[in-house]
Chain A
Amino acid sequence: MSKAKKLLAGLAGCLAIGGVMLSSTATASEPEKSATKQVAKVGEKAPNFVLKDLDGKEHELAKYTADGKIVVLEWFNAECPFVKKHHTLNKTMYETHKAFKDKDVVWIAINSGAPGEQGTGVEFNKKAVKDFEMAYPLALDESGKVGRMYGAKTTPHMYVIDRNGILAYAGAIDNNRSARQVGDINYVKDALKALTSGETVATRETEAYGCSVKYGKKGG
C-alpha cells in the first residue's frame, strides 16, 4: 500500500490548528473591495519589494532583475499538505531549483502567514528550511503586504519574473491538483526553460491550487 505510506508521510506534522473559524454562510463576511490591492499582472512589470530572509539578508526584486536575473517566487507554508507534496513526498521544488540555479535564476520562498497562524515564526521556518533541504532563501512577509500585492492565494502559488522585470508566469507549480500526486507538466520548469533559452513562455497563467495563504484575520 504505497499510497497509504505516502499519505502517512504527508500527514506527519501537519496537524497544528489555531485561529478563529470564519463564517461560511452565503451572506456573511463579505470582503471589503478596498482591501484587495493586487498589483501583479502577467505581462506587466512585477511590483518591486524588499524582504528579509530568515538569516536577515535583504532581497530586493528590482536589484535582481537589474542584474539580469530571472526570479522565481514560491508562496510557502511548511505545514500545508500541498507544500509537502512538492517538498517532501516529491522533490519538485528542490529539483526544479537545482536544474536552473546556475542559469541566472534566483528563487525566493515567501511565507505570508500572519503571526500566530499555522506555519509561522522564524524558528519554525528555519527548521522547515533544514528539513525540506531548501537550497534557497525563505522570507517572512508577516504583514501579508507582498502576498496581497501579488495576489498570492495558495501555498504553493508560483510566480516567474523575467530578466526585464516582467511577470512571465503566475499560477500552479504543476497540473495535478491532488495533495499527493504530481502532474506531468511542471509550469515553472517550462517557463524557466523558455526564459533561459530566450524564448517566450507558452503557458503564462494557470490557477494555483493548495492551502489558502494564512493571511491575518484582520484584513489588509
Chain B
Amino acid sequence: MGLHSRLQGLMLSFTLAGAAGAADVAQSEPEHARARLISEHAFAIPGETLALGVTFDIDQGWHLYWDGCNDSGFPIDIKLTLPDGWIAGGVQWPAPDRRYAAPGGLVLDHIYERRVTLIVPVQVPESAESSAGVNIAADVEWLVCKDACIPGFAELSVAIPVKPLHTDPVLTREAPLFEEARKAHPKPMRGGARAPYRITWEGSTMVIRGDSADVLSFYPQRECGRLVDRFTDPVSKEGVLRLRFKDGPETVRVQGVLDVRDRQGVRKGVYTLTWPATPMETRAGDTIHSMTKE
C-alpha cells in the first residue's frame, strides 16, 4: 500500500457544534487517543477573548503527558496558526495525576487519563472584520502510553465566524468541556489568615500544612532538579507536606501545582505553588515544550 493511499485512509473529518464551522483533519490513526480542536464560543467578537481548546478522548488504561517534571514521555504539544493580529495566550494545563512507571521509585510521571481538554485563549483583535469564518489551525503532537508508547499527531482546523462588536456570545455544544477543564486549573493560593494552606520553612524544607484529613500532593512543573526527593516527598502524611529542597527559601525557586484531595481521593482543589511567592516569570504563548527543564 502506497503512502498516498495510507494517508487518505487517515483523513478524518468532523463538524464543530454551533456556528463554528467544519473542520478538516489529518490525524494519525486513532491509536488510543483522539484529538479535536473545539471552540467554546460559536463566533469570535472583536476585542474579546475566544477560548479554543484541544480535547482528547483517551482509551482506558492509556495516558497522555502533562507539561511538567516527568521522567518519561512527551507533553502534549500544540501550535496554533492564527490570522494576523490574533494572539494566542499560553496553554492552560489542568492539574495532572501522578504515575509511577516503575516500582522502586525510579520513574515518575504526571499524566492525564480518560479525557483532557487543553484550553488556549485567543485574543481577537479590535480590527477583526465580520466574516463567515476565519480559519484557525492547530498542529498537535502527543505521546500516548500504557506499557507501550505510541506517538500521535493531528493537523486540526476550525473556521470561526466573526460577528460585530456588542454581539452577545453564544456557547457551542462543546462548552461543558471547557468548564470541566477549568475546574482542574490551578488557582492562585490566597495568603493571609484565611489561607487554607500555610507555608513555613524549616531550613531548606518547605512545610505546607492543610486540614489533617486532606491528602496534599505536589506536582513540580519547572525547576525539576531542585527537589531532593521528588518521588516520596510530594505526597503528604496527615495533611502536612514536607518538601525538601536543595537550597533554602532565600535562593530556591519552586513552580508547580498543589493538589488537595480527601482520603477517598476526591479532588477538593488545585493551587499554583510558587516560591518566591510572587508568580515567576510567566511563559505566555509558550506552547512549545522547553528543551531543558532547568
Which A residues are within 8 Å of any B CB, using their own CB? 1, 3-5, 7-8, 10-11, 14-19, 21-27, 29-33, 35-36, 38, 79-82, 117-118, 148, 151, 153-154, 175-180, 183, 206-220
Contact = CB atoms under 8 A, between A and B. Distances in A.
| Dominant secondary structure at the A interface | loop
Nearest to B151: A179
A1 B153 CA distance: 12
Contacts of A211: 72-73, 145, 148-149
Contacts of B149: 14, 80-82, 179, 211
Given A8-B6, A22-B100, A26-B235, A209 B150 contact: no
B48 interface: no
Interface in B8-46: 10, 26, 28-29, 31
A82 to B, nearest CB: 8
Contacts of B147: 17-19, 21, 117-118, 214
B191 interface: no
A11 B99 contact: no
Interface stretch (B104-112, B159-167, B170-178, B203-211): B104-112
Contacts of B101: 22, 212
B28 A7 contact: yes
Contact of A27 (B26, B102, B215): B215
Which of B10, B26, B107, B111 has the most A CB atoms < 10 Å from its CB? Answer: B107
B231 A36 contact: yes
Contact of A24 (B71, B98, B105, B231): B98
Given A10-B151, A14-B150, A24-B97, A219 B71 contact: no
Contact of A212 (B10, B97, B109, B265): B109
A177 B70 CA distance: 12
B63 interface: yes
Interface of B: 3, 6-7, 10, 26, 28-29, 31, 61, 63, 71-74, 77, 97-107, 109, 111, 113, 141, 143, 145-151, 153, 215, 217, 224-225, 231-232, 235, 259, 261, 265, 289, 291-293
Which of A23, A24, A179, A209 has the most B CB atoms < 10 Å from its CB? Answer: A24
Contacts of B26: 1, 4
A153 B149 CA distance: 15
A32 to B, nearest CB: 7
Given A10-B151, A177-B74, A212-B102, A183 B111 contact: no
Contacts of A5: 3
B3 A8 contact: yes
Contacts of A210: 72
A11 B111 contact: no
Which of B26, B148, B265, B291 has the most A CB atoms < 10 Å from its CB? Answer: B148
B60 to A, nearest CB: 9
A117 B143 CA distance: 19
Contacts of A15: 31, 148, 150
Given A25-B265, A212-B109, A153 B72 contact: yes
Contact of B97 (A17, A19, A25): A25
A31 B100 contact: yes
A170 B61 CA distance: 31
A21 B217 CA distance: 21
Given A31-B231, A218-B103, A4 B215 contact: no
Contacts of B293: 207
B148 A118 contact: yes
A26 B97 contact: yes
Given A14-B148, A36-B231, A27 B106 contact: no
Which of B101, B111, B217 has the most A CB atoms < 10 Å from its CB? Answer: B101
A186 to B, nearest CB: 13
B232 A30 contact: yes
A33 B105 contact: yes
Nearest to A216: B103
A131 to B, nearest CB: 17
What 10 pairs across the A-B complex have the smallest Cβ distances?
Answer: A31-B105, A35-B104, A212-B101, A219-B103, A212-B72, A179-B151, A24-B99, A215-B102, A26-B217, A212-B107
A31 B107 CA distance: 10
A141 to B, nearest CB: 13
B102 A213 contact: yes
13 contacts: A8-B6, A24-B113, A26-B261, A27-B265, A33-B232, A36-B106, A81-B143, A153-B72, A154-B72, A206-B292, A209-B72, A210-B72, A211-B145
Given A175-B291, A215-B106, A26 B259 contact: yes
Which of B28, B106, B145 has the most A CB atoms < 10 Å from its CB? Answer: B106
Which of A118, A177, A209 has the most B CB atoms < 10 Å from its CB? Answer: A177
